């Protein structure tokens, strides 16, 4: 079911929307933001008592300024961590070498709509393919311990759907030996998608 949905026309249309505005430079963040759209379908078919209040200790709708301040505080205490990547658009903040779940990540992404947090994503990578499979398994286990077994799962991914319109998507990238964990508040993120699509139509 998942593979057929990825191939659907609706998904392609939303994928183009995200490329146009969220990732206009076709950056490395493009794929992991697009993949989270899968969970919009999962949310429509799942019922769960779980709730997800935010990402990385920040509640959903936290302002961009508040997140920048907190991340700057982390960088001052640990200069080798939380290195801010220069902005490539107004909807995102990216930081390198951020500790997440007891591991140092490659980078952490915060996405905003009207300067309010609606999506967060963290990436880990390994040099060897065997090592990234192990990392994927350990992250999946950690998420399951905290949130219960996934609502959907295959060899390369797992998804958790929450009744407060939030979700988590864990994905193994075999081409670049990476693992992404994406947290989304679907209501606000949906507004971002609609606004993105509206702006893209103005160009024609």
pLDDT digits (tens, 9 = 90+) for 160-198: 999 888 999 999 998 999 999 999 999 999 999 998 888
Q: Which of residues 12 and 77 earns the better pLDDT score? A: 77
DSSP state of 120: E
**Rounded-to-integer distance, Cα 121 and Cα 62, Å:** 15
Of the candidates 116, 56, 58, 107, the one whose C-alpha atom is nearest the C-alpha of residue 86 is: 107
What pLDDT is stored for residue 34 in this prediction? Answer: 52
What pLDDT is stored for residue 15 in this prediction? Answer: 38
Q: What are phi and psi of 203, to 5 degrees?
A: -70, -15
3-state secondary structure of 184: strand
Longest CA span, the chain: 48
For residue range 82-103, what is the model confidence (pLDDT) as tens digits? 899 887 677 899 999 999 999 9
Q: Which of residues 19 and 186 earns the better pLDDT score? A: 186
Count CA within 13 A, CB hemisphere, residue 63: 3
**Rounded-to-integer distance, Cα 59 and Cα 69, Å:** 15
Has residue 204 got a pLDDT over 60?
yes
**Rounded-to-integer distance, Cα 68 and Cα 49, Å:** 32
Supply the mean pLDDT for the chain. Answer: 80
Q: Which two tokens stand for residue 77?
A: 């205490």
């Amino acid at each position: 079911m998942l593979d057929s949905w990825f191939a659907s026309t609706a998904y392609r249309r939303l994928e183009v929307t995200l490329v146009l505005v969220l990732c206009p430079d076709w950056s490395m963040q493009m794929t992991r933001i697009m993949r989270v759209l899968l969970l919009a379908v999962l949310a429509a078919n799942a019922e769960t008592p779980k709730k997800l209040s935010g990402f990385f200790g920040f509640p959903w709708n936290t302002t961009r300024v508040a997140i920048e301040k907190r991340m700057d505080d982390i960088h001052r205490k640990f200069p080798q961590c939380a290195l801010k990547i220069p902005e490539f658009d107004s909807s995102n903040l990216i930081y390198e070498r951020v500790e997440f779940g007891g591991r140092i990540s490659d980078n952490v992404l915060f996405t905003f709509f009207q300067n309010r947090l609606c999506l967060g994503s963290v990436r880990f990578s390994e040099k060897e393919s065997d090592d990234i499979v192990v990392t994927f398994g350990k992250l999946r286990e950690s998420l399951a311990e905290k949130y219960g077994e996934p609502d959907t799962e295959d060899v390369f991914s797992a998804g958790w759907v929450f009744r407060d319109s939030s979700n988590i998507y864990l994905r193994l990238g075999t081409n670049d030996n990476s693992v992404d964990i994406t947290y989304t508040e679907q209501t606000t993120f949906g507004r971002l998608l609609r606004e993105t699509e509206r702006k893209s139509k103005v160009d024609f």
